[in-house]
Structure 1
């Protein structure tokens, strides 16, 4: 019976000896080794390709303002970085799930979190155990825009101004109303409370899992009003499917020149505008952070990208790592004062 010999000195598994000691086949070992080496190279190439993909975590579902911003940037970042860029939606809990995913990600420069103020600056202050600590678990990469929140009504709501909305709510049943917000314990939810206090209304916030499902209910007239970012509302406002009645911030928005600020209406304390930025896991090498920041700076320099982001309701402006860190700290401190003044207790 044939037996396989060691083949030492003949290229590994070198020969198969048949009946009577005649060589049936030689060189099998050399072929096997070459095949194994080729497979190994293919495997390494696959791992390398996977590792060289930039994943942008987004804490809200597809279809919302943050998702649209992420996809606009991802489309151009891939050209600047020379690698695939994938938007990874981890929706739920006001960005908490995506933030926890960022904490668990390897600090290798292949994962960043595109987010606004809520998840980084506010959520850790209104939850006892959010599952992450921005100061310890994350590092700022780059900021790219500021924006403001807005109050809007659905197409089926007759009000065309805040005053008309207040009168309408009071006519509907003892001043009780429900206002949609993209996430619990968020800037929009606090604004609902302040609006209710300002106008003597019994307004209850209805938290959603992101702005997209809230918008769907507003467009379907399932809920009469909502508070979210201007990028969430702008497209449907321009299409006449809903109406933005007021915006936060110190000045009117270029994309909504006819819409008054809440400050104009006598509601002060919301002048500090939120931000959008990228964050990475703590321990990510500075070279990797700088590479992403440099690529984003080049993307923001493209006129059509700036025009697209501005049309979404953003004020585009590059913030380096230190500038983003400073803005986040200032915004976090401002909201700490507002949260304390509101009497809100961390859940």
Structure 2
């Protein structure tokens, strides 16, 4: 499956290389960067900061166009329908390009066939948070929460930002590993989760570190675990799930730029080189630091490899959950 996915993902780029038989002339047409979420969300903010930098690097207008809905599915369908002439790009998180194809029978796009990777831009870990007032232990960690749930049947609700998302499936992974009856409670985004955890409507949640860090600093909730394979530099005391003996939730959400399949290879190279300069700049790093998101540049091939790895990891999560595509 992994080899098939990889070959199909690269097929669009190979086709693009064949199509790019003539040199690309100066192009002053504006570039639209599709975003599958409303203005103000993390993907949107990353896209807007990237667009500002690309305008300077490319000498062309780069306009962010929000196509919110269905976890990025609407924007992904718009990318598929776009002409492969370099005037349309897509800032996507891994949920749209890796999870939706696993959980929907007819998502309206095929990531490997319809899109071409351009560049990896950022990673955005998820964290597990608690309302320790509900639990009655201000120093409780994830293991203590599991013990509390065992002693309080039916109260192990864990908010997640969307149904059929990585955090949604991760609740089952964590509960099974800790022997606790955890129940996923899907929301629409991180914002309402934060409010309900702080209000004590639910005792725990999984959400982006960017959404959870400020309430944690204010003492309104407690961050007790992070996904990935290493602790976050700005949360040195928070263990990873692996450190707690929980395997299967190492893959971190990423944001990357994609183009329609058939986009000429030299354009992909040009855009990737420009994105590299922006993502590696101190200005971009400073802007993302305000969101607690880490800028990470990756070439088209590196983004493709990251996509494959995420696809494989999340395939296991979905299968183990017994989830049937809707």
Structure 1 residues 213 and 132, CA gap change in structure 2 (3 angstroms): farther
Cα shift at 1:69: 2.1
Report SS of the residue matched to 1:176: coil
1:88 to 16, 41, 65: 65
Measure, in 2, the Cα distance between the counterparts of 1:86 and 1:234.
Answer: 30
User: RMSD over aligned Cα, in angstroms?
Assistant: 2.5
Cα shift at 1:261: 1.0
Structure 1 residues 261 and 302, CA gap change in structure 2 (3 angstroms): same
Cα shift at 1:304: 3.0
Tell whether the 8 Å contact from 1:178 to 1:205 is kept in structure 2 after alignment.
Answer: yes
Aligned position for 1:267: 246
1:1-347 → structure 2 map (5 Å cutoff):
52-154=29-131, 157-158=134-135, 160-170=140-150, 173-219=152-198, 221-310=200-289, 312-347=291-326
Normalising by the residue count of structure 1, what TM-score does the alignment of the two structures yield? 0.76
Report SS of the residue matched to 2:182: strand
Deviation digits for residues 148-185 of structure 1, max 9, x if unmatched? 221113586455421333344455x5143332222221
Tell whether the 8 Å contact from 1:53 to 1:86 is kept in structure 2 after alignment.
Answer: yes
Mean Cα deviation higher: 117-126 or 286-295: 286-295
Measure, in 1, the Cα distance between the counterparts of 2:290 and 2:315.
Answer: 31
Measure, in 2, the Cα distance between the counterparts of 1:74 and 1:243.
Answer: 34
In structure 2, stretches of 5+ residues that fail to align are 1-27
Aligned residue pairs total 296
Tell whether the 8 Å contact from 2:119 to 2:297 is kept in structure 1 after alignment.
Answer: yes
Measure, in 1, the Cα distance between the counterparts of 2:66 and 2:197.
Answer: 22
Tell whether the 8 Å contact from 2:95 to 2:166 is kept in structure 1 after alignment.
Answer: yes
Mean Cα deviation higher: 158-167 or 107-116: 158-167
Measure, in 1, the Cα distance between the counterparts of 2:79 and 2:144.
Answer: 44
Tell whether the 8 Å contact from 1:61 to 1:212 is kept in structure 2 after alignment.
Answer: no
Normalising by the residue count of structure 2, what TM-score does the alignment of the two structures yield? 0.80
Cα shift at 1:243: 2.4
Based on CA coordinates, which of the two structures has the bigger radius of gyration? 1
Report SS of the residue matched to 1:264: helix
Measure, in 2, the Cα distance between the counterparts of 1:216 and 1:72.
Answer: 27
Measure, in 1, the Cα distance between the counterparts of 2:188 and 2:91.
Answer: 17
Cα shift at 1:271: 2.7
Deviation digits for residues 85-110 of structure 1, max 9, x if unmatched? 33333223222222122222232222
Deviation digits for residues 187-233 of structure 1, max 9, x if unmatched? 10111112222334333322233334434444555443221232332
Tell whether the 8 Å contact from 2:124 to 2:253 is kept in structure 1 after alignment.
Answer: yes
Tell whether the 8 Å contact from 1:155 to 1:242 is kept in structure 2 after alignment.
Answer: yes
Tell whether the 8 Å contact from 2:171 to 2:183 is kept in structure 1 after alignment.
Answer: yes
Higher relative contact order, chain-length normalized (CA < 8 Å, sep 6+):
2
Measure, in 1, the Cα distance between the counterparts of 2:284 and 2:141.
Answer: 32
Mean Cα deviation higher: 97-106 or 121-130: 97-106
Tell whether the 8 Å contact from 2:130 to 2:204 is kept in structure 1 after alignment.
Answer: yes
Measure, in 1, the Cα distance between the counterparts of 2:51 and 2:131.
Answer: 31
In structure 1, stretches of 5+ residues that fail to align are 1-50
List structure 1 runs of 4+ shifted beyond 6 angstroms. none
Measure, in 2, the Cα distance between the counterparts of 1:133 and 1:216.
Answer: 35
